[in-house]
Amino acid sequence: MDDMEDDTTIFSTLKSFKSLISCPDRSLLETEPAFGRSGLQNLYTKRVELEEAAERVRSHTNLLQLTQEKQQMELSHKRARIELEKEANSSSRDLQREIDRNRELLLQIRRLEEREEKANQALNEQMENNKALKRNFEELHKKANEKDSKLAEADQMISELKDETRRLNQQIQIQESKFSTQNLEIQALQEQLDVQRKKFQDVSQRYQNLQTSHSTSTESELKIKELERRLALQEQDSVIVKNMKSEVARLPELEREIKRLREENTFLRETKENNSLLREETEGLRRKLERMERAMEEKLKVELEKEKLEHELQAWENIGQSTGLNIRKPEDLSREVIQIQQRELNLKQQNYTLNSSIRSVEKARTELMPEIAQLRAKAQEEQKKRENQDSLVRRLQKRVLLLTKERDGMRAILESYDSELATSEYSPQLMLRVKEAEDMLQKVQTHNTEMETQLSKAQEEAGSFKLQAQMKLHCIVFVFLRQKIEELESERQQLEEQNNILEMRLERHNLQGGYDPVTTKVIHLQMNPTSIAKQQRTEEVEQLRVECQRLRDRLRKIEAGGGMTTDDTTLIIPPSQEILDLRKQMESAELKNQRLKEVFQKKIQEFRTACYVLTGYQIDITVENQYRLTSVYAEHMEDSLLFKSTGPVGSMQLLETDFSRTLTGLVDLHLFHQKSIPVFLSAVTIELFSRQTVT
Amino acid sequence: MSKTLKGITLKGSAELVAEFFSFGINSILYQRGIYPAETFTRVTQYDMSLQLTTDAKLKNYLTNVISQLKEWLFDCTVQKLVVVITCLETNEVLERWQFDLECDKTFFLPDQCKYESIQEEIRSVIRQITATVTFLPLLETACAFDLLIYTDKDLEVPEQWEESGPQLIDQSEEVRLRSFTTTIHKVNSMVAYKRTNST
- Give A494: exposed, middle or buried? Use CB within 10 Å, 0-12, 13-18, 19+: exposed
Rg (CA), chain A: 91
Q: For chain A, percent helix, then strand, then coil, each to nearest 5?
A: 85, 5, 10
Give the rounded percent of residues in chain A with a pLDDT score beyond 70.
93
The 3-state DSSP class for residue A490 equals: helix
The 3-state DSSP class for residue A532 equals: helix
In a domain, B2, yes or no: no
For residue range B15-69, what is the model confidence (pLDDT) as tens digits?
989 999 999 999 999 999 999 999 999 999 888 999 999 999 999 999 999 999 9
For residue range A1-27, what is the model confidence (pLDDT) as tens digits?
556 666 777 788 788 878 877 755 554
Task: Please determine, for residue A252, whether its predicted confidence score (pLDDT) is greater than 80.
Answer: yes
What local confidence, expressed as pLDDT, does residue A151 receive? 94
- Give A469: exposed, middle or buried? Use CB within 10 Å, 0-12, 13-18, 19+: middle
Judged by phi (left if over 0) then psi (alpha if -120 to 50, else beta), residue A650 lies in: left
Chain A nearest CA to B139, separation (Å): 15
Nearest-5° Cα angle at A198, A192 to A200: 100
For residue range A522-577, what is the model confidence (pLDDT) as tens digits?
999 888 899 999 999 999 999 999 999 999 999 999 888 765 545 555 455 666 78
Q: Do B148 and A529 touch (CB under 8 A)?
A: no
A435 touches chain B (CB under 8 A): no
B169 contacts in chain A (CB < 8 Å): 512-513
B86 contacts in chain A (CB < 8 Å): 530
CATH of the domain at B146: 3.30.900.10
| ipTM reported for the complex, 2 dp | 0.86
In a domain, B82, yes or no: yes
B160 contacts in chain A (CB < 8 Å): 525-527
A467 touches chain B (CB under 8 A): no
For residue range A68-78, what is the model confidence (pLDDT) as tens digits?
888 888 888 88
Please give the mean pLDDT across all residues of chain A. Answer: 88
The amino acid at A29: L
In the DSSP assignment, the letter for residue B154 is T
Q: A326 CB contacts (<8 Å, ≥6 apart)?
A: A320, A332
In a domain, B5, yes or no: no
In a domain, B1, yes or no: no
Q: Do B192 and A533 touch (CB under 8 A)?
A: no
Interface test with A, best of B61, B67, B93, B154 (most A CBs within 10 A): B61
In a domain, B160, yes or no: no
pLDDT band at A342 (very low <50, low <70, confident <90, very high): very high
Q: Which residue of A has its CA nearest to B177?
A: A511
B80 touches chain A (CB under 8 A): yes
The 3-state DSSP class for residue B185 equals: strand
Please give the mean pLDDT across all residues of chain B. Answer: 87
Phi first, then psi, for residue B137 (nearest 5°) are: -65, 150
B148 contacts in chain A (CB < 8 Å): 522-524
Chain A nearest CA to B3, separation (Å): 31
A514 contacts in chain B (CB < 8 Å): 166, 168
Q: Do B152 and A519 touch (CB under 8 A)?
A: yes
Closest partner residue to A513 (CB to CB) among B61, B98, B160 is B98
* Lowest mean per-residue pLDDT among A245-254, A474-483, B99-108: B99-108
In a domain, B177, yes or no: yes
Chain B nearest CA to A498, separation (Å): 23
Q: Which domains does chain A have, with CATH numbers?
A: 616-693 (3.30.457.60)
In a domain, B173, yes or no: yes
The residue segments making up the domain with residue B137 are 10-154+166-194
Q: Which residue of B has its CA nearest to A513?
A: B168
Q: Which residue of B has its CA nearest to A530?
A: B144
B144 touches chain A (CB under 8 A): yes
Q: Do B91 and A531 touch (CB under 8 A)?
A: no
pLDDT band at A501 (very low <50, low <70, confident <90, very high): very high
Neighbours of A184 (CB within 10 A): 10
CB A518 within 8 A of CB B153: yes
Closest partner residue to A522 (CB to CB) among B100, B144, B150 is B150
Pairwise CA distance, residues A558 & A552, whole Å: 10
What local confidence, expressed as pLDDT, does residue A33 receive? 47
Pairwise CA distance, residues A25 & A44, whole Å: 14
Closest partner residue to B161 (CB to CB) among A508, A517, A524 is A524
CB B4 within 8 A of CB B12: yes
CB B194 within 8 A of CB B137: yes
Of A452, A444, A432, A447, nearest to A390 (Cα)? A452
Residue A668 to residues A58, A416, A677, A689, Cα–Cα distance (Å)? 188, 190, 11, 20
Q: A71 CB contacts (<8 Å, ≥6 apart)?
A: A2, A3, A5, A6
Task: Please determine, for residue B171, whether its predicted confidence score (pLDDT) is greater than 70.
Answer: yes
Closest partner residue to B153 (CB to CB) among A514, A519, A530 is A519
Pairwise CA distance, residues A619 & A627, whole Å: 6
In a domain, B102, yes or no: yes
Q: Do B145 and A522 touch (CB under 8 A)?
A: no
Cβ-Cβ contacts under 8 Å between A and B: the total is 101
Closest partner residue to B146 (CB to CB) among A512, A520, A528 is A528
| pLDDT (mean) for A334-349 | 91
Phi first, then psi, for residue B17 (nearest 5°) are: -65, -40
Q: Are strands B40-45 and B48-53 parallel, antiparallel or unpaired?
A: antiparallel
- Give A515: exposed, middle or buried? Use CB within 10 Å, 0-12, 13-18, 19+: middle
What local confidence, expressed as pLDDT, does residue A591 receive? 96
Instruction: Give the CA diameter of chain B.
Output: 54
Q: What is the total count of domains within chain B?
A: 1
| pLDDT (mean) for A605-611 | 93
Interface test with A, best of B59, B63, B66, B151 (most A CBs within 10 A): B151
pLDDT band at A30 (very low <50, low <70, confident <90, very high): very low
Chain B nearest CA to A516, separation (Å): 10
Chain A nearest CA to B60, separation (Å): 11
Closest partner residue to B162 (CB to CB) among A517, A526, A530 is A526
Provide the edge-to-edge strand list for the sheet that holds B78-87: B161-163, A520-525, B143-152, B78-87, B93-103, B185-194, B172-181
Q: Which residue of A has its CA nearest to B168?
A: A513
A533 touches chain B (CB under 8 A): yes
Chain A nearest CA to B105, separation (Å): 18
Chain A nearest CA to B54, separation (Å): 15
